[in-house]
Structures are given as C-alpha cells and as structure tokens.
Chain A
Amino acid sequence: MSNITASPAIGAPRSLSTGAIITALAVITVAALLPLMLSTYHLGLATEVLIFGLLAMSIDILAGFAGRTSLGHGAIFGVSTYVVVYAVMTAGLSPLVACLLGVLAATALGAVFGLLAVRTSGVYFLLLTLALGMIVWGICLRWTQVTGGENGLRGAIRPALLSDYRAFYWMVLAVTAVLSLAIWRFVRSPFGLTLRGIRDSDSRMRSLGYDVSLHLFIGFTVSGLFAGAAGAMYALFNSFVSPSTVAVSQSVEALLMTIAGGVGTLFGAFVGSAAIIALENIASSYTERWQTVLGVTFILIMIFAPEGIVGTIRALVARLKH
C-alpha cells in the first residue's frame, strides 16, 4: 500500500496533527464570527460560499480521490433543491422531512449516475455525466406539472426558527463543518485509500483483487449524498428553484470552484467557492458579461494554474521546504 499513500497530490498524514486542529478551529471560529461583522448582503454571499463549497467538495471526492471528473453534479444538487421545494410547497411536508427527502433523492440519483458511469473514465466519464445532467435538466424543463417548467417552483420554505439570516448562516456553517469533516474522514478511510489506488491505476487495483466498479459506485453515491445536502440547504436559502439550478452551467461553475481551489485538496473547495463567488460579485458591478468572465477564468486556470489556488500554494510551500 505504500505507493498509494505516497501519491504525489496528497502528502498529508492520516491522523489529525495539532496544527491542523488549531487551523480548523481558527477558521471555524472566524467563520462563526462573520455575522457580527458583515452586512445582510455579504452574509448572504458567505452563506452561498459555504453551500457551493460543500458542492465543490463533493465533486472533489470523485475528481481528486477517484480520478473521475464529473460534469453532472449540478443536476444532483438541483434535484435535491427541487425535491425540497416541492415537498414543502406542494406535498405540505415539514422542512426537515423535505430536506431528508431531498438528500435521499440526490443520493439515489448519484447511485443511478454511478451505476452508468463506473465503467468509464477520463473524457468519457466527463461526457457521460454531462449527458446525464442534460437529461435531468430536460426533464425539469419539460415536466411542467411537477416542476413548474420554465417558471420553476417558489415559496417561503425556511422554518421560522431559521428565518433570521444570521441564524440561517450559523445553521449552514454547522452543517457544512460537520459534513466536510465527514468527507475528510471518508477520503482518509481505507475505502478512500482504495479510491486513490483506483485513481492512480485501476488495472493495478483490479489485479490486487479490489472490486473497482463497486468502489466507484459507492464513491459516486456518497458524493451524491453530499451534493444533495448542499442542494437542500440551497433550497432553504433561495426558496426558489428553476431549470437553471440543474443546468450544465451549474455543474460547470461548481467544477470550476473545485478546480480553482485545487483538485484533491478537499478544503480548497471553499477557497475556490469564495474566489468564484467574489469574482462573480466584483465582475457584476463592472460588467454584465459574467459568462465571459467565467469562461476566461476557466481558460486561464486551465493554462496557468491547473493545480488551483491551494494546490499551487502547496507546491510552492513544498518547494521552499526542499
């Protein structure tokens, strides 16, 4: 197993170091104090950073640790949002039950995607997840009776307890912190190590006796669960869902966050999410051409910094140490 743990992208130790615990606590403390400093508008942005950071992290489970880049996670995320809004507004369920149903639906969709995609890798995996995401988008757009078609579904679904924007932010922060710890633990479990082995060489893992397809399937399903949790929180945050929530651009933006943060860095997802959301807001005050800015950002990152922000910093630090 030594050649797997010593993979180039991840040199982090398996147990928590004191430094890591202190850093994590410091980051969470600062994040928890943000509501006392920020305006309503900026706190809303911070909430979005956390939600989309979690989505980007769920993509990183596959991209960084199983070597499979997904362009379908926006659809998984958005299906959860749809289910939550629909369950509260039409079926009259409580928000908590609705959120659980949303996560369940996303997990199931992740399992379906996984079932179809486990046999592919590289570009084909990307194309298949892109196409699967398009199916979901097409259904959400056309199945007007349930999804409201182009108009989407709207309604105040946030429970009274969380109606205050600060309380809501703290809830999102708590959930995101717990879930990202769970993801961190997941990729460092023996199961996560096997995924990394598959990323480095699936033929090697197969000949060592591992069931590659089963591992990838479970990995995709778990990733869907976390994307669904992000989607459910987004439903409560936005109280609105339309086909653009499940569209390809959602998947693209989320993947860009993963890449901007650094594939395989896990917590880089939040850095990427913050960078892209900040960029979106700064850009939107100067120009209406957000799509162009997004596209140019994508091109520049691909050419100059495919390792992402955190990945590049790590590489620099590693170079300084030597």
Chain B
Amino acid sequence: MGMNAFQLLNGLTFAALLFIVASGFTLIFGLLRIVNLAHGALYLFGGYVGYTVAVKTGSFTLGAIAAMIAVALIGLALNQGLLRFVRGNDLRQVLLTLGVAFVLNDMALVIWGGDSFTVPIPDALKGGLTFFGIFYPKYRLFVLLVGVLVLIALYLLLFRTRLGALIRAGVDDAEMVEASGINIRRVFLATFVLGSALAGLGGMMGGAFLSLYPSADSEILVFSLAVVIIGGRGSLLGVAIGSLLVGLLNTVGQVMFPELAYFVIFGPMALLLAFRPLGLFGKAT
C-alpha cells in the first residue's frame, strides 16, 4: 500500500506542528547548551491552559495568547529560579529539567485530571476544503500555515534583527559575544522565554488535532528530540528539515508498519547520530 496525497498532507501538517515545538527546543539547546527535557511538559501545559481559556472565553486566539504567556512565564521561572543554580554543567542541567518535567506533568494531572481534551476549533476553521480531488480538514491546513509563518518569523528574527544576530553569534561562541561587551545572560533569557512560548503555542495548535492527555508530553518530547538530533542543534534550517523528515517518516511508518512505527523514525535517527553525532547541520563547539 503506498502513500496517497491525503497521507502526505497528514505528514506535512504533523511536520509543521513539530517545527513549532522543536524550533524552540533547538534554539534553547543551541544557544544555552540546555537540553530542556521539560519542553514536552511545557507543550502539554500550554495546551491545557489554551484549552481552558478557549473554552471559557470562546476565543481560540485568546487561548493561544494565554498558552504562550503562561508557558513563557513557566520558562522564565524555570530559567531564573532553578537552572541558574546549575549553570555551566550540561549534565546537571539536563537532569534537572527532567525532574521539572516530572513535576509539571504531575501538576497537570492534578489540575486537569487524566481525561483527554481537544481544544475547540474556531468556526471559521471547521470543516474541510476540496482541492485536487481530496477533501482535507481546514484546521490542519491552518496548522501548516502557522508552521510556515513561524518559520518566516524566526528567519526574520534570527537574520534581520540585532537580537537574532546576537543569538546566532551566541550559538557559535557565547564567550566571544560576552567578551565583546554584550550581556549574554539577557540574550539567553530572551531565547529561553521565546522557546518556551513556542512550546506553548505548539500545545495549543496540537491540542486541537492530536488532543491533550497525560502522556502527550513525552510523545511530543521524543519527536522533538528526534528532530533536533537529525537537524543538529541551533540550526533553523536543520530544525525545518528535521521536522519534515520526522513528520513524513512518522506517517510512512504508521501507514506501512503500524506495529513498528517508532522504529521507522528512531532507527534512521539512531544511525544518523552514530555516524554524524552532531546531526545534519550541527556544528562542533
């Protein structure tokens, strides 16, 4: 059984969601050298907050804004309140964020319970479109659009603004940036908050078509890990290509080998990492 256009679109829209989530992950990893294993939990939290606000106010946009702000605040607290104590030690940082992931995930279970929620889709995005002979849900096309918009916005931010130049310089050599009189800590903080906000946005977008449930955080985290491992840390091009590969491979896997779908993504990823430890576009420090 081959792939049809419908499945291809499924892969593309999933890739767009992965891009939104993983771009924040890779920015933080690339610049701050922090593998934020709480990123999945931030995604889930964002989704839940967005869901609650969207249901209360009836506005999807307000929900998305609330999700981004809430998760950005959690990111701020995580960076300023906890990670500052373990700066400069990669392994301790990673393991600390793992602890944070456990706590956040459990807190989400306390607040929202174990049921699965689906973020309500605004009326304008309900239903589907027919083109090239296939009927496809509008909302998933909207996710694709948002993914592309985030890509463009991040491109402009990274390559057309001063902050972006500092972030790129920081990815290459943080010490040199600091030595030239820039307060790199503030750049770090801005990146961390921005990356977290993207996880929150991802939770809102994903919550409307993948739904939100207690183990959704580790699933999205593992996909993000795969994207970053394939693409290489800190590279916008890497995360875009990584998302496409993982999104499409995942769809291929689900269609062709439902029992071994995981293997279809992680097999190639493990091989890639074994032979190109820094990913396709990763640079050695």
Contacts and interface: CB of A to CB of B under 8 A. Distances in A.
A283 to B, nearest CB: 12
A132 B82 contact: no
Nearest to B89: A306
A286 to B, nearest CB: 15
Contact of A134 (B101, B222, B271): B222
Nearest to B267: A135
A119 interface: yes
A127 B99 CA distance: 16
B261 interface: yes
Interface in A89-145: 115-117, 119-120, 122-124, 126-128, 130-132, 134-135, 137-139, 142-144
B94 interface: yes
B135 interface: no
A295 B258 contact: no
A252 B247 CA distance: 27
B270 A298 contact: no
Interface string A293-310: 011111100110010000
Interface string B254-276: 00001111110011011101110
A131 B99 contact: no
Given A128-B270, A291-B102, A138 B277 contact: no
Interface hub of A259, A289, A298 (most chain B Cβ within 10 A): A298
B274 A119 contact: yes
Given A291-B102, A299-B96, A299-B100, A69 B273 contact: no
Contact of A296 (B86, B92, B103, B110): B103
B102 A298 contact: yes
A122 B99 contact: no
B112 to A, nearest CB: 14
A252 B98 contact: yes
Interface string B223-240: 001100100000000000
Interface hub of B35, B99, B273, B274 (most chain A Cβ within 10 A): B99
B258 A142 contact: yes
B91 interface: yes
A15 interface: no
A72 to B, nearest CB: 11
A211 B112 CA distance: 53
A18 interface: no
A132 B270 contact: yes
A120 B91 contact: no
Contact of B266 (A132, A302, A306): A132
B102 A294 contact: yes
Nearest to A67: B91
A298 B277 contact: no
B95 A117 contact: no
Interface string B21-51: 0000000000001010000000000000000
Contacts of B269: 131
A208 B226 CA distance: 35
A292 interface: yes
Nearest to A118: B274
Counting chain B residues whose Cβ lies within 8 A of the other chain, the interface size class is 35 or more
B105 A124 contact: no
Contacts of B91: 69, 122-123, 126
Contacts of A115: 274
B85 interface: yes
Contact of B229 (A119, A131, A252, A298): A131
A271 interface: no
A128 B225 CA distance: 9
A120 B273 contact: yes
B277 A120 contact: yes
Interface string B72-104: 000000000010011001111011101111111
A297 B267 contact: no
B106 interface: yes
A212 B278 CA distance: 19
Interface of A: 69, 115-117, 119-120, 122-124, 126-128, 130-132, 134-135, 137-139, 142-144, 248, 252, 255, 259, 289, 291-292, 294-299, 302-303, 306
Which 8 residue pairs across A and B have the least CB separation, nearest first?
A138-B262, A298-B99, A295-B102, A295-B103, A291-B106, A299-B99, A302-B96, A116-B274
Given A138-B262, A289-B106, A295-B100, 10 more contacts: A122-B90, A131-B270, A131-B273, A135-B262, A139-B262, A139-B263, A292-B107, A298-B99, A299-B100, A302-B86
24 contacts: A120-B273, A123-B35, A123-B90, A123-B94, A127-B35, A127-B273, A130-B225, A131-B229, A131-B270, A131-B273, A134-B262, A135-B267, A137-B262, A138-B261, A138-B266, A291-B109, A292-B103, A292-B106, A295-B100, A295-B103, A295-B106, A298-B98, A299-B82, A302-B96
